Amino acid sequence: MVFIYWIFPNLVVAVSPVGVELIDILPGDDAIGCSVRHGWMALVPPADDETRQGYAELFEQVHAAVRGEDFAVLPTCGEGILHGQHDHMLIGRNEIGVQHVVKTLAGAVGFGEGAFTSGSVAH
């Protein structure tokens, strides 16, 4: 089982039986840019090169998903928001982390809970 913790929304800590993953998302140079630091620490030090290689392969698989799936859509979403092309946003019910990020940032800039309906739509 994996537990994922979002810390104000730019820091993600994921804890699994194998290790701890850290994703730190920082603002970029413009409104749609960001930099991401992604790291992983094993709970048990590798006893040999085979275990070390297994840890490296596990990290690469997770990192590929973060890079290729999670962050692949961000540039177009940022462009849409930047240019005011959307008057609403629908976030899937399985994307509770994304919902948390949007709600936290909206609250920080003055949009209250009234901006959201059904726990997944932001206006």
Is the pLDDT assigned to residue 28 strictly greater than 50? yes
The count of other CB atoms within 10 Å of the CB of residue 114 is 7
pTM for the full model? 0.64
pLDDT at 74: 66
pLDDT at 119: 46
Nearest in space to 100 (alpha carbons), one of 3, 1, 2, 4: 4
Residue boundaries of the structural domains of the chain: 1-86, 87-123
- Three-state DSSP at 22 gives strand
Q: Point out which residues pair with 3 in neighbouring strands.
A: 15
Please report, as a single letter, which amino acid is at residue 100.
Answer: H
